[in-house]
Amino acid sequence: MKNVMVLVRHGQSEWNLLNQFTGWKDVDLTELGIEEANKAGELLKAEHIKFDIAFTSKLMRAQKTLKIMLEVLGQTDLEVIEDQRLNERDYGDLTGLNKDDARKKWGDEQVHIWRRSFDTPPPGGESLKGTAERVLPYFNSDILPRYLAGENVIVAAHGNSLRALIMQIENISKEDITSLNLGTGIPMIYILDAKGNVENVKKLEH
């Protein structure tokens, strides 16, 4: 059987629950987020994958999700590499604001553009394009080679950092990637070809 790359967005965070822009703010998981991480671990356990390496961001919500999954898997001795290049998109001046309050301040259309356009950053923050320019060189230099060498790799990160990875490996256009939504705590198992493009993907729904 071919080796796999598993991508998982962290479980629900405190600011996800409050409908706030989180970005680089280091918030914890909610009780539901902890449950989602445990469930993700159980779903992966049923797949009988023995991981060789794990990657995560410098933010607690992704690290904690990974830790919980590895505890469920009985693989707590796994090498884990943390790097801020896998951090969530930086929302700049929107960080900490409730999304409804932001709409009242700047208008529905402007907030929608900041959230869903590919290359328009919010004030003081990053666009998805900017996030991809940070994430993809790291993915291509540090993560993908481990997979291509035959290792089973798990990446626990964030909606937008993972969106940037998926854009590359699934060859999704910049127009279409902005409408891709990743659920919290749902593992996606990828099998890639020798060039790092998707041969098969399996989403483990709760």
User: In angstroms, what is the C-alpha Rg of the chain?
Assistant: 16
Distances (CA, A) of 186 to 6, 39, 51, 181: 10, 9, 17, 11
Give the 3-state secondary structure percentages of the chain, helix then strand then coil, rounded to 5: 45, 15, 40
Q: Are 170 and 198 in contact (CB under 8 A)?
A: yes
Give the catalytic positions in this structure.
10, 88
Cα 21 from Cα 92, distance rounded (Å)? 9
Q: Are strands 188-192 and 53-56 parallel, antiparallel or unpaired?
A: unpaired
Q: What burial class does residue 205 get, using C-beta atoms within 10 Å of its C-beta: 0-12 exposed, 13-18 middle, 19+ buried? A: exposed
